Homo-oligomer: A and B are copies of this chain.
Amino acid sequence: MRTPSYLFIALLIGILIGAGGTLLIGGSTSHDQPLPDREIIFQVSTIDALLESVYDGVLPVSDLSRYGDLGIGTFDSLDGELIMVDGVVYQARADGSVVVAPDDLLVPLAAVTFFDPDITVPDFSTGSFAEFEDYIDGTIRSENLKYAIRIDGVFSEVTVRAPHRQERPYPRLIDALADQYMATHTNISGTAVGFRLPEYVAGLNVPGYHLHFISDNRSVGGHIVDFSLESATVSLDETLTFMMRLPSDGGFIDADLTGDLSDELAFVERPGQE
């Protein structure tokens, strides 16, 4: 009976190898940790909730990497701007500093995706954000689809801002941003990341272009108000699936999200161009 028992053991070992290998290659047994689908823009909460002062964080920074490696957002208590580049989440704060965000810091609003560029524009230069928009609008397939954006290169000028951490009772976003940090940097190498979204996302996210910046040396960054490029590579990732997780408690539940806040949004996102 020695041979059959060896066979049985070999069979068992094989079953274990096969099962383990399959799990390692790509299987998953938990509903909390599905396989990453790279063609999804994942978002937590809505932009209108932020406009209505829902600043309580609901998702830890560490969880964002399940859903993407590039993205933008903000932090609990509106404590700065979130910039995710190559899977690392940076926090640009209102004192002008940039730090790697702690894993357990909570995020009230963010949108991320796994960035796989479908369109690449090399050696791109532009005099302004508006000029950039006009050009990119001409390269995309449809204004009804969603695009993640990444710009790498030398920014002749970039104006960034970051909100101050807010105290309760939270003011509305338009008031909270009245005294935010703002700075203009010239001739700086860095990366801008963000999205171009269709008009119909109004209420959920920012229609049009929304970019955050971080310098190559990771010392400055923030929400981009305006910029010009000396020379850069622009990459776009057309993304067909959108996934939004709503906060299950906190201010979101009781916020008044019935109003049309598009004018207010345009003002807080890109003052002077709304």
Contacts and interface: CB of A to CB of B under 8 A. Distances in A.
A145 B244 CA distance: 12
A15 B11 CA distance: 8
Interface residues of A, number: 62
Given A144-B253, A248-B240, A200 B46 contact: yes
A23 interface: yes
Contacts of A240: 245-248
How many monomers of this chain does the complex have?
Answer: 2
A56 to B, nearest CB: 14
Contacts of A252: 142, 144
A254 B113 CA distance: 24
A119 interface: no
A217 interface: no
B34 A257 contact: no
Where chain A touches its partner, the secondary structure class is mixed
A273 interface: no
A219 interface: no
Residue among A11, A18, A31, A141 with the highest chain B CB neighbour number at 10 A = A18
Interface of A: 3, 6-8, 10-23, 25-29, 31, 34-40, 46, 48-49, 141-146, 198-204, 240-248, 252-255, 257-258
7 contacts: A3-B3, A7-B10, A15-B17, A16-B18, A19-B19, A22-B27, A145-B246
Given A144-B253, A204-B204, 12 more contacts: A7-B7, A14-B17, A18-B19, A18-B21, A18-B22, A22-B27, A31-B39, A141-B253, A200-B204, A241-B244, A242-B246, A243-B243
